[in-house]
């Protein structure tokens, strides 16, 4: 089976044979895959399918290291599955809508579309240069009308099913630029361009009812066995189903105005209003000493009428960002409204406060506060001198100082009127029933997850296919009129905020129902809408429907790879969307992704100098030299150009803002794609963060050169390569047997690690093999082991460093195309050992290593261990109490 090998004249192209020249090998291999259409796939009912997907990139300009890592992991899995014989689909496309295109357009005065398409073109050449095995026939970009048309269609379908609605929601408002800001554009509470203090403002927005699917999305997390526990836990917490009690507090008009100022408060009268709150701790109800409402709450708004101080406070509450992190970390402030809530059980009046940490859009915009048993309420009560009551006591009867700190554990109720001496658990039900009987409240299931707000007040996105007609109200755009095209040939300059807002050419339209004048919705979709179903569209990218029958062959995705930062939002929206597709009859299963690998971030050192204005100027690691002591600890870092020190800013995710990115392209140009792929796979396991290190890349390159040299070391004797000495099978000597055992043990390890996707140790196993092969010489037996071993190494490395593996495999005559070769399995006879090493411990400490025959039983192993001189020395005068023998591993002698 070695015709090609025999025909090679090793001296004919000496340079190429002697030196590893990745550029040429890689372009040859890529040309081979291209002309053979190696990665083009179609549905084939006779073969097991495998759909391997990596999260598609945002076309930001060029690939970054995170992309390289993500796509290498995906490609390794895809190629491995292919070599196992499956019909593998691995597509690629572009998450093309988004804010950066608008920013770039503003800066470069070019249309976002042109910028995006240019980036796609360049990044595609980079992906090809890395040798990823994609079926490019299925490429898609989410900004293409034939893609977003179907998303618009689905939205109108959801509207007709009542799964879509419009309501007011809070946004970040820049009062100077008169525009909505993304959270990213709010820096320290100010607009990024104007520097103005950001305000919270409510505007009408479209929502999709993900809460209708909350139970299903939560319950089926249990079935996602191929997902990391970390992600499953995060999603469970995100959905955050809780069981609690919703109850009403009657509102009593003004009584005491303590601290509420004086002016104008007299206008408020007794009312029969009430406010509704939700709590997961009804057992603490008797400890309520105040109630807090959002600044926008009708009660607060009403109380503020004519009250300048309260009006000013409510105004202050509107300032700052809308993100949860902002709201939770701001200084908690409040102001009494001068009205009281009536405790539903005790009838006691407790003050109602407006508070800056209560948001109108979350829950009911009002919370009951129990300072004794909630940390935040406790801090607030201390600040405003509100009483702190203890109503829950530890079960063990111990006492706690409730004035010093909140007691948040469950326990036994005291000072709770009719509920005294009940446990928290019993009180939950008792209080709920008490309220229910009196029509004041009921047990409720609540979710932390909120409906998905999909409106964005931006240009570069999918137009929301809705029309506002004065006669007919809101009317969805009918399928025949889809897609609602986003105009791409628009003018963009520094002052452009949004070319489709206040643009009659876009917004003026005719009502599909009455034919009268109407206005288009000018908001666009959240880009998560596009990324929530792209995996399905890849199966039938040219379908004249959202999806066709092909989706049923390929879905679900068997393996999905992407960043851990998508653990909740993207992955939850995609799970939700898949169910929407299912309930529209487009897919047949419940979950989109069977197995998930969340890859860690690529991180690197950061360096900066403080500027005069207090800001930081970040220097790229390539511009900095680090001085180290003899142990390699960094002493200081200096800028190469001026030799002056820079501050070492610690290790952070590679990013533009910290300027600590390493451009993959320069590494590919210098070392080739295989080295970059190998390095990223070897340095860290896929799910951990990867710390960048230039010398490590050099090491990966060195390893590939060693393999290249090994190929050169292999002779051409056809008998040796066939495992024969003349016509007789080779009898291996001890040294050769040892080499074979090392190789097959490493193979066993590599296969185990391929299966659990720990690719760094797959590479380690390959290195171990190569080290063993380097010890072999020219003897016939050595050559046979070398030939066998290198064949194994090439196939193990095939998915990781595909170009060199492809080249050597065919060049050395192992076969035609390595992708079509059989995956290697360990040879049992090579693994067999006559004697086994046991570690002998005395009282848990290693004291000796002994050899025992492989067939020795426990008693025999024990005897051999006890016979050891060092073991006897440590037993000394003590009595042997117990001997533990772990087969094939260890003996522990317990002596006292």
Contact 571, 598 (CB under 8 A): no
Q: Is 243 in the site for RNA (CB under 7 A)?
A: no
Binding mask 15-44 for RNA (x = CB under 7 A): ------------------------------
Q: Closest distance between RNA and the C-beta of residue 568, in Å?
A: 5
Binding mask 320-349 for RNA (x = CB under 7 A): --xxxx--xx--------------------
Q: Is 233 in the site for RNA (CB under 7 A)?
A: yes
Contacts of 844 (CB under 8 A, 6+ apart): 892
Stretch that binds RNA, among 274-282, 342-350, 411-419, 647-655 (CB under 7 A): 647-655
Identified binder of RNA from the candidate list 705, 724, 732, 875, rule CB under 7 A: 705
Which phi and psi angles does 252 have, rounded to 5°?
Answer: -110, 135
- Number of neighbours of residue 852 by Cβ within 10 angstroms: 20
Residues of span 424-453 touching RNA by CB under 7 A: 448-450, 453
Identified binder of RNA from the candidate list 218, 301, 779, 839, rule CB under 7 A: 839
What distance in Å separates the CA atoms of residue 684 and residue 72, rounded to the nearest whole number? 13
Residues of span 46-85 touching RNA by CB under 7 A: 58
Q: Which is nearer to RNA, 197 or 890 (CB)?
A: 890
Identified binder of RNA from the candidate list 457, 522, 532, 736, rule CB under 7 A: 457
- How far from 234 is each of 228, 431, 608, CA to CA, in Å? 10, 31, 34
Contact 186, 319 (CB under 8 A): no
Contact 136, 41 (CB under 8 A): no
Residues of span 369-428 touching RNA by CB under 7 A: 375-376
Torsion over CA: 281, 285, 290, 293 (sign): positive
Q: Closest distance between RNA and the C-beta of residue 93, in Å?
A: 12
Q: Which is nearer to RNA, 469 or 714 (CB)?
A: 714
Q: Which is nearer to RNA, 102 or 260 (CB)?
A: 102
Q: Is 698 in the site for RNA (CB under 7 A)?
A: yes
Among 638, 790, 797, CA closest to 720 = 790
Identified binder of RNA from the candidate list 279, 757, 841, 868, rule CB under 7 A: 841
Identified binder of RNA from the candidate list 126, 152, 684, 783, rule CB under 7 A: 684
Q: Closest distance between RNA and the C-beta of residue 745, in Å?
A: 8
What distance in Å separates the CA atoms of residue 170 and residue 186, rounded to the nearest whole number? 14
Burial of residue 446, with CB atoms counted within 10 A of its CB: 0-12 exposed, 13-18 middle, 19 or more buried: middle
Q: Closest distance between RNA and the C-beta of residue 663, in Å?
A: 19
Q: Is 194 in the site for RNA (CB under 7 A)?
A: no
Identified binder of RNA from the candidate list 300, 690, 790, 818, rule CB under 7 A: 690
Cα torsion through 489, 494, 499, 505, rounded to 10: -70
Among 497, 495, 518, 514, CA closest to 506 = 518
What distance in Å separates the CA atoms of residue 339 and residue 297, rounded to the nearest whole number? 13
Identified binder of RNA from the candidate list 706, 715, 724, 725, rule CB under 7 A: 706
- Number of neighbours of residue 380 by Cβ within 10 angstroms: 21
Q: Is 683 in the site for RNA (CB under 7 A)?
A: yes
Among 371, 409, 375, CA closest to 390 = 371
Q: Which is nearer to RNA, 95 or 283 (CB)?
A: 95
Identified binder of RNA from the candidate list 100, 371, 465, 499, rule CB under 7 A: 100
Residues of span 564-583 touching RNA by CB under 7 A: 564-570
Kindly report the length of the chain.
Answer: 896
Q: Which is nearer to RNA, 250 or 327 (CB)?
A: 327
Q: Closest distance between RNA and the C-beta of residue 806, in Å?
A: 22
Stretch that binds RNA, among 125-133, 485-493, 610-618, 695-703 (CB under 7 A): 695-703
Residues of span 210-229 touching RNA by CB under 7 A: 229
Which phi and psi angles does 846 have, rounded to 5°?
Answer: -65, 125
Q: Is 623 in the site for RNA (CB under 7 A)?
A: no
Q: Which is nearer to RNA, 165 or 238 (CB)?
A: 238
Burial of residue 406, with CB atoms counted within 10 A of its CB: 0-12 exposed, 13-18 middle, 19 or more buried: buried
Identified binder of RNA from the candidate list 105, 180, 432, 852, rule CB under 7 A: 180
What distance in Å separates the CA atoms of residue 474 and residue 458, rounded to the nearest whole number? 20
Core vs surface per residue 41-56: b (16+ CB within 10 A) or e? beeeeeeebbbbbbbb
Residues of span 655-674 touching RNA by CB under 7 A: none
Identified binder of RNA from the candidate list 220, 513, 652, 827, rule CB under 7 A: 652
Contacts of 86 (CB under 8 A, 6+ apart): 47, 48, 49, 50
Q: Is 297 in the site for RNA (CB under 7 A)?
A: no
Which bin fits 363, alpha (ψ -120 to 50), beta or left (φ > 0)? left
Q: Closest distance between RNA and the C-beta of residue 16, in Å?
A: 16
Q: Closest distance between RNA and the C-beta of residue 439, in Å?
A: 30
Biggest CA–CA distance in the chain, Å, is: 112
Identified binder of RNA from the candidate list 749, 810, 821, 831, rule CB under 7 A: 749
Q: Is 509 in the site for RNA (CB under 7 A)?
A: no
What distance in Å separates the CA atoms of residue 854 and residue 51, rounded to the nearest whole number? 44
What distance in Å separates the CA atoms of residue 410 and residue 387, rounded to the nearest whole number? 21
Q: Is 205 in the site for RNA (CB under 7 A)?
A: yes
Task: Look at strands 845-853 and 880-886 and give their pairing.
Answer: unpaired
Q: Which is nearer to RNA, 26 or 526 (CB)?
A: 526
Q: Which is nearer to RNA, 112 or 798 (CB)?
A: 112
- Dig out the tokens for 442 from the structure: 């009921």
Q: Which is nearer to RNA, 25 or 350 (CB)?
A: 25
Stretch that binds RNA, among 40-48, 145-153, 409-417, 561-569 (CB under 7 A): 561-569
Identified binder of RNA from the candidate list 63, 368, 763, 812, rule CB under 7 A: 763
Contact 595, 78 (CB under 8 A): no
Q: Is 738 in the site for RNA (CB under 7 A)?
A: no
Q: Is 280 in the site for RNA (CB under 7 A)?
A: no
Identified binder of RNA from the candidate list 25, 88, 92, 99, rule CB under 7 A: 99
What distance in Å separates the CA atoms of residue 586 and residue 862, rounded to the nearest whole number? 65
What distance in Å separates the CA atoms of residue 340 and residue 255, rounded to the nearest whole number? 7
Q: Is 865 in the site for RNA (CB under 7 A)?
A: no
What distance in Å separates the CA atoms of residue 880 and residue 840, rounded to the nearest whole number? 14
Q: Is 751 in the site for RNA (CB under 7 A)?
A: no
- How far from 538 is each of 39, 52, 541, 546, 584, CA to CA, in Å? 14, 11, 5, 11, 18
Contact 539, 581 (CB under 8 A): no
Q: Is 181 in the site for RNA (CB under 7 A)?
A: yes
Residues of span 777-836 touching RNA by CB under 7 A: none
Stretch that binds RNA, among 116-124, 254-262, 488-496, 887-895 (CB under 7 A): 887-895
Q: Which is nearer to RNA, 385 or 631 (CB)?
A: 631
Q: Which is nearer to RNA, 348 or 752 (CB)?
A: 752
Q: Which is nearer to RNA, 142 or 416 (CB)?
A: 142
Distance of CA 132 to the CA centre of its chain: 22
Stretch that binds RNA, among 98-106, 286-294, 547-555, 781-789 (CB under 7 A): 98-106
Identified binder of RNA from the candidate list 642, 845, 877, 879, rule CB under 7 A: 845
Q: Which is nearer to RNA, 290 or 838 (CB)?
A: 838
Q: Is 894 in the site for RNA (CB under 7 A)?
A: yes
Residues of span 767-786 touching RNA by CB under 7 A: 767-768, 771, 774-775
């Amino acid at each position: 089976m070695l015709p090609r090998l025999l025909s090679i004249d090793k001296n004919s192209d000496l340079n190429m044979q002697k030196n590893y020249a990745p550029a040429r090998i890689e372009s040859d291999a890529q040309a081979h895959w291209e002309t053979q259409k190696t990665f083009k796939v179609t549905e084939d009912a006779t073969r097991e399918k495998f759909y391997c997907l990596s999260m598609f990139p945002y076309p930001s300009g060029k690939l970054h290291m995170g992309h390289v890592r993500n796509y290498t992991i995906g490609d390794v899995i895809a190629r491995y599955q292919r070599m196992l014989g499956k019909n593998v689909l691995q597509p690629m496309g572009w998450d093309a809508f988004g804010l950066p295109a608008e920013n770039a357009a503003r800066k470069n005065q070019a249309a976002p579309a042109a910028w995006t398409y240019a980036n796609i073109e360049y990044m595609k050449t980079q992906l090809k240069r890395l040798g990823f095995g994609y079926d490019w026939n299925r490429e898609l970009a989410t900004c293409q009308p034939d893609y977003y048309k179907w998303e618009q269609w689905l939205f109108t379908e959801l509207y007709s099913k009542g799964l879509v609605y419009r309501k007011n929601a809070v946004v970040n408002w820049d009062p100077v630029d008169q525009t909505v800001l993304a959270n990213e554009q709010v820096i320290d509470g100010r607009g990024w361009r104007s520097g103005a203090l950001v305000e919270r403002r409510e505007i009408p927005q479209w929502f999709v009812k993900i809460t209708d699917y909350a139970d299903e999305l939560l319950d089926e997390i249990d079935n996602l066995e191929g997902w990391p526990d970390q992600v499953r836990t995060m999603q469970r917490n995100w959905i955050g189903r809780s069981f609690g009690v919703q109850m009403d507090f009657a509102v009593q008009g003004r009584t005491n105005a303590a601290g509420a100022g004086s002016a104008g408060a007299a206008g408020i009268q007794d009312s029969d209003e009430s406010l509704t709150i939700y709590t997961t701790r009804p057992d603490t109800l008797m400890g309520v000493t105040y109630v807090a409402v959002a600044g926008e709450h009708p009660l607060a708004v009403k109380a503020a009428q004519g009250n300048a101080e309260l009006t000013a406070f409510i105004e202050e509450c509107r300032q700052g960002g809308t993100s949860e992190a902002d709201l939770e970390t701001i200084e908690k402030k409040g102001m009494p409204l001068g009205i009281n809530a009536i405790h539903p059980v005790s009838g006691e009046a407790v003050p109602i406060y407006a508070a800056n940490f209560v948001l109108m859009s979350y829950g009911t915009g009002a919370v009951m506060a129990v300072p004794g048993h909630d940390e935040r309420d406790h801090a607030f009560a201390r600040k405003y001198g509100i009483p702190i009551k203890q109503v829950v006591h530890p079960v063990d009867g111990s006492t706690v100082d409730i004035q010093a700190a909140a007691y948040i554990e469950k326990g036994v109720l005291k000072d709770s009127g009719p509920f005294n001496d009940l446990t928290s658990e019993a009180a939950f039900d008792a209080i709920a029933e008490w309220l229910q009987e009196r029509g004041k409240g009921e047990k409720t299931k609540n979710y932390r997850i909120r409906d998905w707000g999909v409106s964005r007040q931006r240009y570069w996105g999918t137009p929301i296919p809705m029309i506002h007609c004065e006669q007919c109200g809101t009317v969805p755009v009918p399928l025949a009129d889809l897609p609602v095209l986003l105009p791409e040939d628009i003018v963009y300059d520094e002052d452009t905020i949004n070319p489709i807002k206040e643009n009659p050419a876009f917004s003026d339209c005719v009502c599909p129902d009455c034919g009268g004048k109407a206005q288009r919705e000018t908001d666009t979709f959240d880009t998560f809408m596009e990324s929530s179903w792209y995996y399905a569209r890849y199966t039938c990218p040219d379908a004249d429907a959202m999806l066709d029958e092909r989706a049923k062959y390929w879905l679900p995705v068997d393996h999905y790879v992407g960043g851990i930062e998508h653990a909740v939002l993207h992955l939850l929206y995609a799970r939700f969307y898949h169910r929407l597709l299912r309930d529209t009859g487009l897919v047949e299963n419940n979950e989109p992704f069977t197995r998930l690998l969340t890859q860690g971030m690529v991180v690197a050192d950061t360096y900066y100098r403080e500027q005069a204005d207090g800001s930081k100027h970040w220097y790229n690691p390539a511009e900095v030299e680090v001085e180290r002591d003899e142990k390699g600890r960094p002493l200081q870092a200096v800028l190469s150009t001026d030799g002056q020190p820079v501050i070492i800013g610690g290790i952070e995710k590679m990013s533009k803002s910290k300027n600590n990115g390493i451009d993959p392209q320069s590494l590919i140009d210098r070392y080739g794609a295989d080295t970059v792929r190998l390095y990223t796979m070897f340095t860290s396991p896929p799910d951990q963060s990867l710390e960048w290190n230039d010398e490590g890349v050099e090491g990966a390159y060195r390893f590939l050169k060693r393999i290249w040299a090994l190929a050169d070391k292999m002779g051409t004797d056809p008998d040796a390569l066939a495992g024969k000495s003349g016509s007789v099978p080779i009898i291996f000597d001890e040294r050769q047997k040892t080499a074979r055992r090392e190789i097959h043990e490493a193979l066993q390890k590599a296969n185990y690690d391929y299966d659990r996707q720990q690719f760094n140790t797959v590479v380690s196993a390959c290195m171990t093999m190569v080290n063993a092969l380097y010890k072999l010489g020219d003897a016939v037996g050595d050559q046979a082991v070398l030939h066998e071993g290198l064949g194994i190494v090439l196939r193990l490395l095939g998915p990781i460093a595909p170009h060199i593996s492809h080249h050597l495999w065919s060049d050395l005559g192992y076969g035609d195309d390595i992708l079509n070769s059989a995956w290697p399995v360990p040879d049992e006879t090579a693994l067999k050992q006559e004697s086994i090493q046991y570690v002998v411990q005395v009282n848990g400490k290693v004291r000796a290593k002994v050899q025992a025959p492989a067939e020795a039983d426990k008693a025999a192993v024990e005897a051999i261990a006890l016979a050891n001189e060092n073991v006897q020395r440590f037993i000394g005068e003590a009595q042997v109490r117990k001997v533990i023998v772990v087969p094939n591993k260890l003996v522990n002698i317990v002596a006292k």
